[in-house]
Structure 1
Amino acid sequence: MLDINKIRADFPILNRKVHGKPLIYFDNGATSQTPQIVIDAIVDYYTNYNANIHRGVHTLSQEATDKYEQARIKIQEHFNAKHSYEIILTAGTTESINIVSSGFSSILKEGDEIIVSALEHHSNIVPWQMMCEKTGAILKVIPMDEDGSLRIDMFDELLSDKTKLVFLNHVSNALGTINPIEEVIEKAHKVGAYVLVDGAQACPHIKPDVQALDVDFYVASAHKMCGPTGVGLLYGKKELLEMLPPYQGGGEMIETVTFEKTTYAGLPHKFEAGTPNICGGIAFGVAIDYMNAIGFDTIQQRENELLVYATDKLSQIEGLKIYGTAKKTSVISFNIEGIHPYDIGSILDKLGIAVRTGHHCAQPIMDYYKIPGTVRASLAFYNTKEEIDTLVEAVKKAKMMLS
């Protein structure tokens, strides 16, 4: 059982007030909150061993390097990568995807086909469109269904020997839908295609095993996992990372440099040009330790309980429609008939409740439902049923004020 009072005490921001009301934070799909132990790790770095890594022989540099590489190993173990050098530390999910799309821009040719899903965040659409413009590759889309699930039967029809790459998220940020990535990976591999999975929304709720999945690339961000912003990971199979060219040139990613020729460093440094977000990487490792100490089975059980409770309570409000009813994580995306989601979100904010409104960087999903956006309440393990009760009453009040 989760000691919710003890857990909430780990998050100092949950004690603050917004517009005179106790903060109720239901925007975890955008950014989760940060426990004190992670904040302390960031302060400790800048207080006690702030130095650049991998390059210095002095004590501070050695300490910082050790902590940073220890964090890489923690991430490797968490995702069960075979080698620590298969974990590339990046600025986040978006950069991770761009590293892969940029690399394949020099490999794909005109007429090659790539497949994305209709449930993608813009960051898993736009880089591939840019790559297609450069290479002449053709972008195809796995359609979605009314319940927010993917039409896997249509995926079968899209696959061919021309398919080179398949991209989809593990969990939809807009609807919370859990996609059948195991099935997609298996089917894609049968035609010789590589698969990249955007795990940004899955990793706060699910502990992926990249070897068991046999996924080619997996990407995620620390700030969805109780970690800091500005840091994330790209997992790639060794042979694929070695096949791709470097994403950026500069310090750290080189082996030798002359004016005639430069040779590149091995993994992971080949993709880590320049000074990284050192304290961010270290804090990412601490955040993973924190979540594993709670346990992902415990987190899933708690969040599913909150999801069922919130869905039941919100569904009782007349005129409220929930989008995405397929198997999902703790996300409820909804509208009230005749009321713009932005207006509801603004009133909720005045009552101290943080939700997300708009298209959630998933405009094709909103176009499918023919709506401008939704109100999204995304729940985390540190939320409570009492907070959900307050949300429900606030939504009722917003409806009364705006009707």
Structure 2
Amino acid sequence: MQNLKELDTEYVRSHFSALNGKWAFLENAGGTLTANQVIQRVQNYMSHFHVQPNHFYKPSQDAGILMANGQAVAAEMIGAKQDEVMISPNTTASVFFLANSIRRLFSEGDEIIVTDLDHEANNGAWRKLAEFGLKIKEWKFCRDNGSLEIETLEPLLSSKTRMVCFTHCSNITGAINDISLLVDRIHDAGAMACVDGVAYAPHRPIDVKLWDVDFYFCSLYKIYGPHLGIFYAKKEHIENATGNNHYFLDDNLPLKLNPGGPNHELTSGIVGIGDYFSTLHDHHCVSEKNTLLDKVNELSALISNHEEKISQPLVDFLTKSQSIELFGPKSADSMLRAPIFSFDIKGHNSAEVVKALDLDEVGIGSGHFYAPRCLKSLGCKLNDGLIRVSLVHYNDSNDVIRLIEALEKLI
């Protein structure tokens, strides 16, 4: 028996109840469908263990174990230790929690670098620290390729730079930034690296230790899981941070940074993400891997190759049309981009395009996608925004064909 050479899309789609053949779901960067394994885990918790966890009676103890298992899977899937990962409502909340916890580590005149490419989640909270005397600098992305370049970072770095906040992958242009190169340079400058991995995580493995990031954020509801966020912080940063929680939890990592506890049933449901990827691994690969990250790593080539393959006809269509302007890399190459495609159609309001495709049961998105600074730098009108199509590995070639046919009717 050998590893499968291509992703078995029919098998993948069998794990998502919503993929019944009726709708083409193509706005996945805003939130993916939830794997059946996650739904089952949440239902099991709410049906049998929905009590206050960690008291000294068995159902309560069992509830605490299920939540701890969810915390463990969240850490394992990104290569972190369990006490380095916090579960939050979403990434915007995660960044605000972190900014409030570590702002006392900075002094007046210290500098934080943010970008005009990022989702506002990794922007607004840091910019607000100007109220406490910090200097905020903006790192502008390259409009031609939609990515951040180290050459434009260099002149912004100084002896006062304390942190650089940037996105691993743009939720608008789809461009993937070279995280290893950037983090190394940021550390050489004596600063911390704070990375938004939300748009990257549905498509590639995450290894926070390999990249040596100081902080890394993900949204689990964009990785086939429950509506939660997670963020990683190096343990020494958590220990040095001021607690957001009750004073008697200051030594309880990572609850220290969370103003309250995580959602019980959804935390237990995180285990379902591990179930899903383990099931995919066992179906496609014959080797035995110990950790969830190892399994996702082995699946990675199959997933990225599939996403690139189904994206190619869409890129060809978008780049050849005289009526369409595609932002970001003009390529389906999975080394350069995730399959997130934002574009304009001349003479068409973006929201009206989405409404028109609704009639064909093709779901896409429009707007600024919480990245208005990016759209402004691209020269786009915020009141109209852009059209966005975002694919993941459960999409297939038929989804893309339906999309292209629906767009052709408009232009």
Letter of the structure 1 residue corresponding to residue 361 of structure 2: G
CA distance in 2, matches of 1:2, 1:189: 38
3-state SS in 2 of match to 1:149: coil
Offset at residue 191 of structure 1 (A): 1.8
CA distance in 1, matches of 2:52, 2:313: 48
CA distance in 2, matches of 1:226, 1:391: 22
Aligned match of 1:271:
257
CA distance in 1, matches of 2:264, 2:84: 18
* Contact 1:254/1:270, CA 8 A, preserved across alignment: no
CA distance in 2, matches of 1:312, 1:349: 23
CA distance in 2, matches of 1:112, 1:238: 22
Offset at residue 289 of structure 1 (A): 3.3
1:376 equivalent to 2:362? Answer no
1:317 equivalent to 2:342? Answer no
* Contact 2:39/2:272, CA 8 A, preserved across alignment: no
3-state SS in 2 of match to 1:13: coil
Identity %: 28
Aligned match of 2:53:
53
3-state SS in 2 of match to 1:14: coil
Matching residue within 105, 109, 113 for 2:103: 105
CA distance in 1, matches of 2:363, 2:253: 41
3-state SS in 1 of match to 2:351: helix
3-state SS in 2 of match to 1:15: coil
Cα-to-partner distance string for 1:47-69 (whole Å, 9 max, x where unaligned) = 11112223x11111111111111
CA distance in 2, matches of 1:333, 1:67: 39
* Contact 1:175/1:324, CA 8 A, preserved across alignment: yes
* Contact 1:173/1:201, CA 8 A, preserved across alignment: yes
Matching residue within 389, 396, 401 for 2:408: 396
Offset at residue 292 of structure 1 (A): 4.6
CA distance in 2, matches of 1:281, 1:80: 18
CA distance in 2, matches of 1:293, 1:216: 31
* Contact 2:37/2:275, CA 8 A, preserved across alignment: no
CA distance in 2, matches of 1:91, 1:364: 24
Matching residue within 6, 10, 17 for 1:5: 10
Aligned match of 1:304:
308
* Contact 1:200/1:220, CA 8 A, preserved across alignment: yes
3-state SS in 1 of match to 2:30: coil
Aligned match of 2:243:
246
Aligned match of 1:66:
65
3-state SS in 1 of match to 2:19: helix
Distance 1:273 1:114, change over 3 A: closer
Aligned match of 2:285:
none
CA distance in 2, matches of 1:139, 1:349: 42
1:88 equivalent to 2:93? Answer no
CA distance in 1, matches of 2:279, 2:100: 37
Offset at residue 223 of structure 1 (A): 0.2
Letter of the structure 2 residue corresponding to residue 382 of structure 1: Y
CA distance in 2, matches of 1:3, 1:150: 34
Q: How does 1:118-129 map to 2 (within 5 A)?
A: 118-129=116-127
* Contact 2:183/2:213, CA 8 A, preserved across alignment: yes
Matching residue within 131, 141, 148 for 2:129: 131
1:328 equivalent to 2:355? Answer no
Aligned match of 1:25:
25
CA distance in 2, matches of 1:393, 1:347: 12
Q: Which runs of 4+ in 1 moved over 6 A?
A: none
* Contact 2:35/2:272, CA 8 A, preserved across alignment: no
Aligned match of 1:165:
163
Cα-to-partner distance string for 1:251-290 (whole Å, 9 max, x where unaligned) = xx625xxxxxxxx332122224434211111212211331
CA distance in 2, matches of 1:50, 1:159: 50
TM-score (norm 2): 0.88
CA distance in 2, matches of 1:203, 1:314: 25
CA distance in 2, matches of 1:376, 1:273: 34
CA distance in 2, matches of 1:50, 1:60: 9
1:285 equivalent to 2:271? Answer yes
Letter of the structure 2 residue corresponding to residue 317 of structure 1: S
Cα-to-partner distance string for 1:327-369 (whole Å, 9 max, x where unaligned) = 2101111111222211211111122111110111111121122
Q: Over the residues paired in the alignment, what is the CA RMSD in angstroms?
A: 1.6
Aligned match of 2:373:
364
Offset at residue 212 of structure 1 (A): 1.0
* Contact 1:170/1:181, CA 8 A, preserved across alignment: yes
Distance 1:292 1:114, change over 3 A: farther
TM-score (norm 1): 0.90
CA distance in 2, matches of 1:204, 1:292: 15
* Contact 1:118/1:150, CA 8 A, preserved across alignment: no
Q: Which runs of 5+ in 1 are unaligned?
A: 17-21, 256-263
CA distance in 2, matches of 1:222, 1:360: 17
* Contact 1:320/1:334, CA 8 A, preserved across alignment: yes
Query: For this pair of structures, how many residues does the alignment match?
Result: 379
3-state SS in 2 of match to 1:357: strand
